[in-house]
Amino acid sequence: MRLGVPKEPDNETRVAIVPSSLKKLMKAGFEVFVEKGAGISANYSDEEYTNAGASVVSRKEVLGCKNIICINFPGVEGIAENTNLACVADPFRNPDYVKECLTAKITLMSMDMIPRRLSRAQSMDVNSSQDNLAGYKAVLLGAANVPKGIPMMTTSAGTVRPAKVVVMGSGVAGLQAIATAKRLGAVVYASDVRKSAAEQIESVGGRFIEVDGMDDFEDESGYAKPLTPEFIQKVNDTVCGVAKDADIIITTARIFGRPAPITVPSSAVSEFKSGAVIVDMNADVGGNCEDTKAGEIITTDNGVIIVGTSNLPGTIANTASMLYSNNLTTFITSLVDDGNVVLSDDDDILFGAPEDSDFYVNGMGGVLICIDGNMHEKQTRLMGAIE
């Protein structure tokens, strides 16, 4: 089995497979081909790949492999029919990627579609591994840009009060942001639309921002129900009120397959104190702050600094690549049966759970989007709009 690892685009510092993963891949029967220079920006040299057993070759040779693993969708040019392509395609935001694969008869597996509530999927969950790092780095960027110290300090020259950090959202990224800010010595406040999230927030050192009516938006499984526009506005107003005197505000709200919701409108930014830093973790999909500019760090007229750094995991490329590589290595080796990559209809990782389950309600229908130019019958309902 030939497995190719292409070099990512110039704006991507990560690499999909790192040298430490090669032993497991080769044990499973893969012969690994890595494009020359693929790991350089993540501090993995060609020599490390060669020493670990991979062949460092041209892009043409990599794209000629039967199985291709990467982070960003590489396009279909140079890829043969019936190739298995695993990447983060974000198919609902990029339906053209799916159409290209259908036309080129390429099997597309989009790793951002992993059904993360399956226990077996957790070690393959690229969303969680990369979000975790993004939450950590968001706090570091906030600390690097805020014009004051973070921890409380008692000195002969006076006492420095700890910084106040507000984290909007307590998913994987939010919880890591809370924990990181707490470790730096900040006083951390955090929000979520689920009242049950209070326990998680407090367990990592945060103080829960409660909004009246939260119990009305939690289902029996502990997940958030669909929110009314009125309640969303109520949450945003409450949290932005707490953030008025904050030093760092981290926004984490991301909706699967849709633009990021605005949680910090311009009107709120105008009331934040001068020197406050907003780190928008979703600048790449529209931004949670109305004033965010993707890929830029700007300062508003009232002195608020807005960090719109895109691809936060890519700013920690070495570690992010290692975790992504672990995820994908676990995934692809799980598909090997008798020396071949086998796509079984019974694999919930590939196809998701039955159509009446919460997987489909939440849009997580499995990573296998199309097979050799066809939408699989189990994916047709989920991806019908793309066809």
CB within 8 A of 224, min separation 6: which ones?
A: 193, 194, 217, 218
CA distance 352 to 115: 6
In CATH terms, is domain 133-310 a member of 3.40.50.720?
yes
Query: Residues 56-81: what's their mean pLDDT?
Result: 97
pLDDT in tens, 372-385: 888 876 666 556 65
| 116 noted as active-site residue | yes
Catalytic pick among 59, 223, 310, 348: 223
pLDDT in tens, 30-46: 999 999 999 999 999 99
Q: Where are the domains of the chain?
A: 2-125+317-376, 133-310
Catalytic pick among 116, 117, 183, 194: 116
Under the banding of pLDDT at 50, 70 and 90, the label for residue 8 is very high
Under the banding of pLDDT at 50, 70 and 90, the label for residue 149 is very high
Q: Which of these, 202, 149, 153, 155, lies nearest to 175 by C-alpha position?
A: 202
CA distance 74 to 67: 13
CA distance 312 to 134: 5
Residue 322 amino acid letter: M
CA distance 37 to 44: 9
| 122 noted as active-site residue | yes
Do the domains spanning 2-125+317-376 and 133-310 agree at the CATH topology level? yes
pLDDT at 196: 80
> Hey, what are 357's tokens?
């389950």
Q: Which is the CATH superfamily of the domain at 2-125+317-376?
A: NAD(P)-binding Rossmann-like Domain (3.40.50.720)
| 372 noted as active-site residue | no
| 128 noted as active-site residue | yes
Catalytic pick among 41, 110, 128, 130: 128
| 196 noted as active-site residue | no
The residue ranking higher by pLDDT, 144 or 255, is 144
Residue 38 near residue 6, CB atoms below 8 Å: yes
Q: Which of these, 242, 301, 248, 293, lies nearest to 270 by C-alpha position?
A: 301
- Beta strands 277-280 and 187-191, pairing class: unpaired
